[in-house]
Structure 1
Amino acid sequence: MGRVTERRRVIRVRDGQISRRPDTLVAEEPLEIRLNGKPLAITMRTPGDDFALAAGFLVSEGVLASADDLQNILYCAGATYGDASGADEAEHGTGGNTYNIVDVVTAPDVRLPDITLERNVYTTSSCGLCGKASLDAVRTTARFPIDDTAGGAPPVRLEPSLLAALPDRLRAAQRVFDRTGGLHAAALFTPEGELLDVREDVGRHNAVDKLVGRALQSGRLPLARTILLVSGRASFELAQKAVMAGIPVLAAVSAPSSLAVDLAEESGLTLVGFLRGSSMNVYAGEQRIALRAAAAQG
């Protein structure tokens, strides 16, 4: 059974005093993701929400766009828990995940992008996919335009004060972080600041995949009127995952990369970095942030 945390003995030094005590660490284990029986990727992750992680990963790869694209997700080596909805996995936790291998079976009419067919990669908890797809690949595989006015909805327009309040709301929802201090988190919020979902993982890219995968399983893609908040930096890969899920706003408590900004500018994604206290940097998509109102108040 995969566990979210594990216990290890440590030597603790505090103010010159030495003691031996157990410590709680976040668990890190490999997960192999197979696509229609073919090995596709291995990621280092925190066990839990494995079906959602695999589904979200395949959304970012341009393979899946809706729950109808899924025929099944199962643990390999004869351990099968649940169908594409993930309902049984939620009931059983990760009790059947002995082999750390999941196979995603797509519906018969799903066409696989060429870039996915050529991929067989190893990812780490820190950097995600190495040698990631270029901007050209995102253009060819993106299923959802960044459109926060679908169905006649008013454009998303966020007060800086609302964005500033989100990191504290995310931190308050990080249950495992309180015990380990070693997890990244990703959360989805409404434009009004309501927390929709939060996932934790030793890899920040895995946390986002778990969010997006759960949305796909429940038929909520594209995530057209949401804010994605991540606890670390905004890499190109995280910006890509937001774009592929149709998320209009990505906010990070740390810095973005230059390629993440390039992707945000090209795709119409609003990208906010260094979201700390009342301060933030808006790198792209400023039309969704009420900057003039904030300046007037200042």
Structure 2
Amino acid sequence: MGRLILRVKATKLDIAGHRRVVREEALAAEEPLEIRLGHEPFTVSMRTPGDDFDLVAGFLVSEGIIYEPDELISLRFCAGEDENGQQTFNVVEAQLRPDVVLPSLAAQRNVTTTSACGICGTASIDAVRKSSHYAITAPVDQPLVKAEVLASLPGILREQQKLFEKTGGVHAAGLFAPDGELLILREDVGRHNAVDKVVGAAFRERQLPLANTILQVSGRASFELVQKAAMAGVPLLAAVSAPSSLSVELARESGVTLVGFSRGDTLNVYTHGGRIGD
């Protein structure tokens, strides 16, 4: 597995003190991961190494390619070497069940997706409005989580972010039970990768659909994160920053409760607020 942290020299400029200080800084690693379906290249994504099998599984679920654990036969690292002849662990091959039909989108996905964007390779906005195989079953008019519990989740997530503690440069996604118990946490330079890793971990443990759970993310609530939540059957997505207009629209259409600006004692509820109790 590739390194999670790289150490580099950096010059800190102390403007008030008129000083320059050279010191070592810890940076979160960012490397390409090529995903192959069988022996055929499918896409390349920039990510932080680690939990790569979870990332691939979650990505395939989010793309609507698989939804049953038996459809994913195996995951393995393929040969890939750096200039020193060392295995890079930057190529993962997913072997799918023979009857899994790849969508036409697959032919358009053979481009690099950055750590900032999880749907940069799609052809149009209509192409990413996928239909989930998992219905969101949590009633929209019955409380799923208490407001004070929901407001506490960003703090719990932050306390468990070991990679962020060392680098300050990664996003996190955490899957929580309604009582605030942290079930799964993953970190990555890409917020969409962190969510895929959470979904993939649950998928590989045969826990999908993720009914009666809360997905808390450390960044903003983008369209792609709402889509990934809906594809996994998550009824409530909360973010510490703002949602986009399109993410609110998708959350309303797909039945996801969307919360933004979850900070301290306040939060904004944009859709299906009946799932949040007093």
1:117 shift after superposition: 4.3
Match of 1:179 in 2: 166
2:189 matches 1:202: yes
Of stretches 163-172 and 31-40 in structure 1, the one that deviates more from structure 2 is 31-40
Equivalent position to 1:38, from 37, 40, 43: 40
Q: What secondary structure does 2:174 align onto?
A: strand
Match of 1:120 in 2: 110
Match of 1:89 in 2: none
Residues 137 and 129 of structure 1: CA distance in aligned 2, closer, same or farther (over 3 Å): closer
Unmatched 5+ stretches in structure 1 = 80-95, 294-298
1:61 shift after superposition: 0.4
Match of 1:144 in 2: 134
Equivalent position to 1:255, from 242, 245, 252: 242
Q: Deviations over 1:84-117 (max 9, x none)?
A: xxxxxxxxxxxx9525111111112222233234
Q: What secondary structure does 1:221 align onto?
A: coil
Amino acid at match of 2:4: V
Root-mean-square deviation (CA, aligned residues, Å) is 2.1
Q: What secondary structure does 2:253 align onto?
A: helix
Whether the 8 Å contact between 1:33 and 1:40 is mirrored in structure 2 is yes
Q: What secondary structure does 2:270 align onto?
A: strand
Q: Distance in 1 between matches of 2:75 and 2:143?
A: 34
Match of 1:105 in 2: 95
Q: Distance in 2 between matches of 1:240 and 1:46?
A: 22
Q: Distance in 2 between matches of 1:54 and 1:192?
A: 29
Of stretches 205-214 and 118-127 in structure 1, the one that deviates more from structure 2 is 118-127
2:271 matches 1:278: no
Q: Deviations over 1:215-264 (max 9, x none)?
A: 11111111111100110011110001000000000000011111111110
Q: What secondary structure does 1:242 align onto?
A: helix
1:145 shift after superposition: 1.0
More helix by share: 1
2:43 matches 1:56: no
Whether the 8 Å contact between 1:248 and 1:269 is mirrored in structure 2 is yes
Amino acid at match of 2:216: L
Whether the 8 Å contact between 1:156 and 1:191 is mirrored in structure 2 is no
Q: Distance in 1 between matches of 2:244 and 2:124?
A: 14
TM-score, length of structure 1 as denominator length: 0.85
Match of 1:66 in 2: 68
Residues 260 and 126 of structure 1: CA distance in aligned 2, closer, same or farther (over 3 Å): same
Unmatched 5+ stretches in structure 2 = none
TM-score, length of structure 2 as denominator length: 0.91
2:30 matches 1:28: yes
